[in-house]
Structure 1
Amino acid sequence: MAQKIHVRDENRGGNIKDYWPLIALVGVSALAAIAVCAGFSSFTMKSLMHVYMGVFLIVFALLKLFDPNGFQDGFAMYDLLGMRFAPYGYIYPYLELVLGLAFLSFLAPVTTYLATIILFTFGAAGVIAALQKGLDINCPCMGNILNVPLSTVTLTEDLVMIAMAFFLLFT
């Protein structure tokens, strides 16, 4: 089921309520990370970021996996690789899942950080292109389950993940 593309309604995405599902997921991911890290013998910003990114990526991968066809359809509308190679939309949630598990297990951290930087930089480029075109689509980052517009909030989410991965890489 493909999403309908049309020029952005100026009111869509202008209200905090439009982003409540994203706010809730980010907040719950942060609370889960704090709860897990509270049990660590040494609570550091690096461990908190690792756990947060792991929980965040796993939750977002799960949302995409609820409806892989719907995610792939939406993803192909703005992702630079997803537009040209349809199977990438089916692979992407598993890439997020693997990265999330790698963050939670602290497995191959440098590889995990670099893969995160590459994946989210590429994603941010697609979001920028979609925003410049004025496309009004639901953000596939939330899967096909939640109705959150693709917007600068989506771009900010990508840029924050990139910044966190860079921070982890260089600390």
Structure 2
Amino acid sequence: MLLANHPLLGKTITGDTASKLTIRAADDVARFSLRIDPAVAQAAGAAFGMPLPTRIGGMVEAGGRMALQLGPDEWVLTASVAEGDGIENAFATLGETHSLVDIGHREVGILVEGEAAALALRSAIAFDVEAMAVGTGCRTLFDKAQIVLIREDKNRFRIEVWRSFADHVWGILHAVSREIALGL
């Protein structure tokens, strides 16, 4: 969960009106890595309080919770910080073999928003960010840092990055935002 030494606490990068780009630290959430046999994913969805997506890259959102499938048997789950303990308790009584790991302490979120959001991300991501469908996500590299990239809306992306790489990713986004503002 959010610690007092959050590396991005209070930081925002606001481009000028021409760049139409805003980069800011996302609100903290409870984050979990779930590994479970896809054959019992429906039971895991019941424990989480909503169905889990059934295709890699698929995302489901409801009631402030989000589930993103990263692999055949791997999901990232997020919810409000206040719901974290309840989610852990629900999975403790699941009755299916699984691994639920609280990763809230290791990761932070960065929101990249505006008409130039995809352009800013394209500067350090090797695939066509514009081709990503809204409501999908993937694990990828941002420069040399591993991230989970989620396309929440046409012009809004969320980066989930390890706390130790957050300043690196933030620095690149800051430099790119200046280049976009200058029309470079």
TM-score tier, shorter chain, comes to under 0.3
| Bigger Rg, which one | 2
TM-score by length of 1: 0.27
Greater relative contact order (Cα < 8 A, sep 6+): 1
Bigger fraction of residues in helix: 1
